[in-house]
Structure formats: structure tokens, C-alpha cells
């Protein structure tokens, strides 16, 4: 079972008094940012984002690292990458962000998204730190597959040398629904957080639900739905996920 203490959030109460412009600025540049900051952000991304080939890669590397202090000069960013609140994102050396990835750091944390050295994010993946205080932290030499979606509302920590295949869905929050007379969208949400250890392999299409901890060396089968924590070295699969076979050798 999961014993993480949940946090409760109601975004309508937190952000309900925003104007449309304030909301756009918060979701694009960051909470409390100015209109000049928004204009500069959109000019920069509008110029650099879609440039093809080696020249485009070089110009993005040059201008993004000058503008966003968390971007290492040896990180590589492909075409049409969505960067929301990029000043709250850190990319270490040799990180590869493929074309059409979405990095959405809409959180009050300055370390909303951090990606460790040598890690890669494949095309069409989405990383959304999640308001108001969410984060996604990925370790070294890890890979996120095509079209995988990560939500970090309650905090999502992924270790070193983790392989997450394509079309996975990992969400560190869950909607409340206690009052049947109130639409679910107005209930707010609970966030416990998810921790994935080192040397974990998550198969294609797997779903990891809020509050789960996956231990070092564990293997999650394709299309599994994981709603309980997984011990180090265990292989699980199925809907809901259950233990399969013997332990492997977990990384310590």
C-alpha cells in the first residue's frame, strides 16, 4: 500500500481571480512575470523554435543558453519544442530533447523540471510539472519514449538509467470526487507524488498512478496499470499490476 501523505489543491481557489492575460503569462513565462518578459519570450521562441537542420540546432543552443540559465551549452533541443516557463527548467550536458516535445514548467518551484546529464526525451513526449507546486526531476542517462506523458503535480522523481518506453502515462495526482452533487472538475485534486528508482524499465503503454514508489531494478510490463508500490527488483504486469516471476538483481 501507499503511505505518502496527500496534499490537497483547488486551482479554482488559487487562481480564480486571474485575468485572462495574467493566466496566459503565468502559463507561458511564469507566475508574476511581466508583459516585456512575455514579449521577449515569444520573440525568442518564434524565431528559433522551427529552424531546421544544424543551423537551427546551433542557434537554439546559442540563444536558449544565453536566455535560460538552467540550459547547459551542451544540451540539444530539436525543432518545435514547446518551452513554457523555461527559466524554471534545467537541462544538463548531453541532454537531448527531440522534436515536438513539450516541457511545461508551470509551477511555483524554480526547479520545476530538471533533466540529468545524458538523458533523452523522445518526440511528442510531454512533461508537465503541474501547478501550483509540482515538479519533475529526471536523473542521469535516463530515457523517456515517444508520446509518453508525465504529470508532476505531487512531485515526480525518476532516477538514473531509467528506461520509460513510448505511450506511457505517469500522473502524480488524482481528482477528488466525494460530493456527487458537485461536478468532479470543481472538487480540486489530491497529490501524493511518485518516485521511480534507478535502473527501472517501464514497458510501452504502462500507467503509473499517484502515490506509487517503484524500487531500484524493477521491471513494469507493457500496458500494466500500477496502483501499488513495487519493491526493488520485482517484475510486475497486468491490470491491475501484480508480481510476475522472481526478483531480478536490484541496483543499490
CA 208 → CA 61, 76, 240, distances in Å? 33, 28, 10
Quick one: cell of 217? 531494478
- % of the chain exceeding 90 in pLDDT: 79
**pTM exceeding 0.85:** yes
Confidence of residue 249 (pLDDT cuts 50, 70, 90): low
pLDDT at position 246: 60
Q: Are 235 and 198 in contact (CB under 8 A)?
A: no
- Tell me, yes or no, whether 38 lies in a domain: yes
Q: Which three cell numbers stand for residue 45?
A: 521562441
Higher-pLDDT residue of 10, 213: 213
CB–CB of 74/93 below 8 Å? yes
Rounded mean pLDDT, 210-218: 95
Q: What is the mean pLDDT of the chain?
A: 92
Classify residue 1: in a domain, yes or no.
no
* C-alpha distances out from residue 251 to 195, 217, 248, Å: 15, 5, 9
Is residue 249 one of the residues assigned to a domain? no
- CB atoms under 10 Å from CB of 195, counted, come to 18
Confidence of residue 252 (pLDDT cuts 50, 70, 90): very low
Answer whether residue 1 shows pLDDT above 80.
no
Domain count for the chain, please give it: 1
Q: Phi/psi at 61 (nearest 5 deg)? A: -60, -45
Across 49-185, the runs of DSSP E, i.e. the strands, are 76-77, 82-84, 89-91, 96-97, 102-104, 113-115, 120-121, 126-128, 136-138, 143-144, 149-151, 156-158, 163-164, 169-171, 174-175
Q: CA 85, CA 113: separation in Å to the nearest integer?
A: 10
In a domain, 188, yes or no: yes
The pLDDT of residue 4: 67
Question: Cell numbers 516557463 label which residue?
Answer: 85
The answer to the question of residue 248 being in a domain is: no
Mean per-residue pLDDT, 197-222? 96
Q: Do 139 and 163 touch, CB atoms closer than 8 A?
A: no
Evaluate whether residue 100 is within a structural domain: yes
Distance separating alpha carbons of residues 70 and 86, to the nearest angstrom = 8
CB 228 within 8 A of CB 2: yes
Question: Could you tell me if 154 and 176 are in contact, meaning their C-beta atoms sit under 8 angstroms apart?
Answer: no
CATH no. for residue 230? 2.160.10.10
Let me know if residue 252 belongs to a domain. Answer: no
Contact between 116 and 160 (Cβ < 8 Å): yes
pLDDT digit string, tens, across residues 48-104: 999 999 999 999 999 999 999 999 999 999 999 999 999 999 999 999 999 999 999
Mean pLDDT is lowest, of 14-28, 48-62, 64-78, 191-205, for 14-28
Residue 240: the pLDDT is 95
Domain carrying residue 187? 7-243
Structural domain contains residue 20: yes
pLDDT of residue 247: 61
pLDDT surpasses 90 at 150: yes
Amino acid at each position: 500500500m501507499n503511505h505518502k501523505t496527500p496534499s490537497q489543491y483547488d486551482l479554482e481557489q488559487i487562481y480564480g481571480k486571474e485575468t485572462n492575460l495574467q493566466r496566459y503569462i503565468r502559463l507561458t513565462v511564469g507566475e508574476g512575470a511581466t508583459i516585456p518578459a512575455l514579449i521577449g519570450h515569444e520573440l525568442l521562441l518564434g524565431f528559433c523554435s522551427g529552424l531546421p537542420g544544424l543551423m537551427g540546432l546551433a542557434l537554439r543552443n546559442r540563444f536558449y543558453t544565453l536566455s535560460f540559465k538552467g540550459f547547459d551549452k551542451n544540451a540539444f533541443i530539436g525543432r518545435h519544442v514547446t518551452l513554457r516557463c523555461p527559466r524554471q527548467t534545467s537541462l544538463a550536458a548531453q541532454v537531448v530533447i527531440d522534436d515536438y516535445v513539450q516541457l511545461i514548467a508551470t509551477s511555483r518551484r524554480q526547479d520545476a523540471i530538471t533533466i540529468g546529464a545524458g538523458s533523452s526525451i523522445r518526440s511528442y513526449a510531454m512533461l508537465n510539472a503541474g501547478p501550483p507546486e509540482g515538479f519533475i526531476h529526471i536523473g542521469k542517462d535516463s530515457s523517456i519514449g515517444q508520446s509518453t506523458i508525465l504529470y508532476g503535480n505531487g512531485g515526480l522523481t525518476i532516477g538514473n538509467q531509467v528506461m520509460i518506453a513510448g505511450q506511457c502515462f505517469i500522473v502524480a495526482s488524482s481528482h477528488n470526487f466525494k460530493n456527487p452533487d458537485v461536478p468532479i472538475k470543481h472538487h480540486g485534486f489530491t497529490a501524493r507524488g511518485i518516485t521511480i528508482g534507478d535502473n527501472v524499465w517501464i514497458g510501452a503503454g504502462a500507467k503509473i498512478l499517484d502515490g506509487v514508489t517503484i524500487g531500484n531494478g524493477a521491471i513494469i510490463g507493457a500496458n500494466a496499470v500500477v496502483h501499488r508500490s513495487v519493491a526493488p527488483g520485482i517484475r510486475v504486469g497486468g491490470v491491475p499490476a501484480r508480481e510476475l516471476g522472481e526478483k531480478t538483481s536490484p541496483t543499490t
